[in-house]
Amino acid sequence: MNKLLEIKDLHASIGGKEILKGVNLVINEGEVHAIMGPNGAGKSTLSAVLTGNPAYEVTSGEVYLKGQDLLAMEPEVRARAGVFLSFQYPVEIPGVSMTNFMRTAINAKREYEGKEPISPKEFLSLMREKKKLLELPDKLNNRSVNEGFSGGEKKKNEIFQMAMLEPCLAILDETDSGLDIDALRIVAEGVNRLKTPQNASIVITHYQRLLDYIVPDFVHVLADGKIVKTGDKTLALELEEHGYENI
Amino acid sequence: MRISKGEIFERVFINEEVNLQIDQEAGSHVKIHVINASFSITVNQLGEGCLTEIYGLENLHGDESVTAETHVTHAVGGGTSNQLIKFVLADQSRGHFIGDLKIAQDAQKTDAHQTNRNLLLSKDAEMRTQPQLEIYADDVKATHGASTGQLDESALFYMQQRGIDKQKARQLLVNAFMKDVLATISDDELREQLLNSIDGVVQ
């Protein structure tokens, strides 16, 4: 099995306060890892640091994506190299249409891969195909990115973008929060259908519920900035029943 | 100049300084766009049921300095005025908006809106905004808003996370900010041409 992501003794802080206190994690191609943990454990910090959010400072440690130094890359280069974050709170961008946004993103990735820009025809049919996967309306193309979207639509739109960009590493940050059961099913199905033997995902969640739909190979418990326990999917059920106190 | 009863006066000025004093007769319509130039526009609604629209878009670089000035007076009732003035300020550019809006005592049922939005792209750029409202009638709908801000950092990061480089992401946000002013131009061909010219930067 090929190693996709390797995190070694990662420490990170925000505003001088240390949040991650030595995270170690190896993710191989084809694997789904769930990261669970109480509020404030550092789950969202981990996703922010992996994607290069400038609000966070990495104080020590190393991260490699397919052997490349991930922390040395600009956020946009990480994205083009295949790291995708489904945001917990997707950002509204008034005045920027989904079409313009998505085409710019796809062409940035294609340029990075040494490919020609996507043709308008190919682009539109790709949009159509992926919208269907997430049961998103046709009128999406002309709407501004996330503007006026309901909570469920925003999360579907994240997975739609993931489907368009075909990342090798998808990080789903609390993708289940604020979703009703139908939206949850659609989002989870979307994620499952995008799974290949070459890509992997990190599913950050508070609740076991999402893991009924997206079945993880490993479950990690993140507490006080460290992974304190790792198990298989049964660990999530155990946590649901007994909470985090006994970890 | 005088716009007579029921007449329509519509102009788009690009890179051309504008100095206009307009008296509107009843039911007339004035619609003016000024793009990338200083202007001083005075409009008096002297007849009932006039419509006045003033749009300004100033995209400034280097040490450019632009003053946008509007003086709109509703002397009689039943009129409408809409003003949307936007500045994008890069480098050491300077912007100044002066907006006087007066609704006379007899001008009941007036509907007047004045909006000034400014985007600072550099810490050396500077914007001064002086809106002034004088409302003497009691049965009117009048709004005004002025704000000066910077690009939304969370939107920039969101776009970078999708592989769009920071420069392009900034350009997309700036274009989005400017679009709604251009979208109000009536001439289809000119409007599309201007909208495409700002979009062209990011293709």
Neighbours of B58 (CB within 10 A): 27
Structural Rg of chain B based on CA atoms: 18
pLDDT at A176 > cutoff 60:
yes
Gap from B179 CA to chain A (nearest CA, Å): 7
Whole-angstrom Cα distance, residue A237 to residue B69?
66
Whole-angstrom Cα distance, residue A244 to residue A223?
9
pLDDT per residue as tens digits for the range A128-172: 999 998 888 888 888 999 999 999 899 999 999 999 999 999 999
Task: Give residue B202's pLDDT.
Answer: 41
E strand or H helix that includes residue A204: strand A200-204
Cβ <8 Å between A84 and B158: no
Gap from A50 CA to chain B (nearest CA, Å): 11
Is residue A247 situated within a structural domain?
no
Return all residues near A182 (Cβ < 8 A) that are at least 6 apart. none
Is residue A74 situated within a structural domain?
yes
pLDDT per residue as tens digits for the range A77-135: 999 999 999 999 999 999 999 999 999 999 999 999 999 999 999 999 999 999 998 88
Largest CA distance in chain A: 56
Contacts of A93 in chain B (CB under 8 A): 152, 155, 158-159, 172-173, 176
User: Could you state, in order of their start, the residue ranges of all structural domains in chain B?
Assistant: 2-150, 151-203
Is residue A211 situated within a structural domain?
yes
Neighbours of B21 (CB within 10 A): 12
Chain B (116-155) residues lying within 8 Å, Cβ to Cβ, of chain A: 152-155
In which order are the strands placed within the sheet that holds A83-86? A83-86, A169-173, A200-204, A32-36, A218-223, A226-231
CATH of residue A205's domain is: 3.40.50.300
Question: Tokens 């489907």 appear where?
Answer: A163
Task: List the single residue in A with minimal CA-CA distance to B167.
Answer: A76
Tally the domains of chain A: 1
Contacts of A76 in chain B (CB under 8 A): 160-161, 163-166
Nearest to B166 among A76, A85, A144 (CB): A76
Whole-angstrom Cα distance, residue B62 to residue A21?
46
Is residue A223 situated within a structural domain?
yes
Chain A (27-86) residues lying within 8 Å, Cβ to Cβ, of chain B: 51-54, 74-76, 79-80, 84-85
ipTM (interface predicted TM): 0.96
Alpha carbon B93 to chain centroid, angstroms: 18
Nearest to B177 among A76, A90, A95 (CB): A95
pLDDT band at B199; cut points 50, 70, 90: low
pLDDT per residue as tens digits for the range B81-132: 999 999 999 999 999 999 999 999 999 999 999 999 999 999 999 999 999 9
Q: Tell me whether strands A226-231 and A218-223 are parallel, antiparallel or unpaired.
A: antiparallel
Range of the domain at A147: 3-242
